Amino acid sequence: MHEPSAPFANAYDDQLRAASYAALAFPGTYHLAFRDLPELLGRPAPGARALDFGCGAGRSTRFLADLGFRAEGADLSEAMLTEARARDPRGVYLRVPDGDLSALAGNRYHRILSAFTFDNVRTGSKAALFRQLAELLEPEGRLLNLVSSEELYRMEWAFFSTAAFPGNAAPAPGAAVFTVMKDVPDARPVEDIFCPEADYLDLYRQAGLVRVLAHRPLGRPGEPFAWVNELQVAPWRIDVLRRA
């Protein structure tokens, strides 16, 4: 299999992929992305608002609501939002144009979660989005940016395969990188945009954000998954950020 050569488009703004993704729970490698989030998010005070930026089919929005937050989801993909509303008719799911969060201006959130969203954001748009998200935080609020680790794209995992994409081995910042989800009906490659950790730190600085914690979740012996590399290498990184 060769890397697709078409110009980058958001891999999740697609009806077939939205339906496939909406059926996911928190399996395998994805389990590590969400397992430690309750502790990192902290117990919410009554009425604390949380924004799920890039909510997709609403899985992480419902996750926030189950933790006790007044959760709202925002995404640019109408296909994904249709799935989210179908599964959570009482939920708040807003469509925001690509790169423009002005529809949320005036809102303030105790927590903002961005789960894998920035894996799919063009390099030139990332800094502006981080600035807009920083403006939506309460003074003591936190933004949690959950992204793929650099290692995700060059190793094999319980839930993902990258073996078909030799170009993933040493991508340049901003280059396309690819994965295939093993346990969903839609086996088309998912295209992300490679962003090294050092570049994220620079983007945070540009946006007036400070990283207070970098959490790298590892698999644990005894968890009910057939781990491949997850016991030794973290497939994800969760950056906890505050306003400078």
Overall average pLDDT of the 194-200 stretch = 98
Residue 14 has what pLDDT?
56
- Rounded to an integer, what distance in angstroms lies between the CA atom of residue 203 and that of residue 212? 15
Q: Give residue limits of the domains in the chain.
A: 15-149+196-243
Q: What percent of the chain is modeled with pLDDT above 90?
A: 84
Which tens digit of pLDDT belongs to each residue from 170-196?
999 999 999 998 877 777 899 999 999
List the CATH code of the domain at 15-149+196-243: 3.40.50.150
Residue 16 has what pLDDT?
55
Which tens digit of pLDDT belongs to each residue from 43-91?
999 999 999 999 999 999 999 999 999 999 999 999 999 999 999 999 9
Those residues whose C-beta lies under 8 Å from the C-beta of residue 191, and which sit 6 or more positions away, are: 4, 8, 9, 11, 176, 177, 178
> What is the reported pTM?
0.90
Those residues whose C-beta lies under 8 Å from the C-beta of residue 223, and which sit 6 or more positions away, are: 31
Those residues whose C-beta lies under 8 Å from the C-beta of residue 202, and which sit 6 or more positions away, are: none
Position with higher pLDDT, 19 vs 128 = 128
**In 3D, which of 181, 178, 183, 150 has the Cα closest to residue 165?**
178
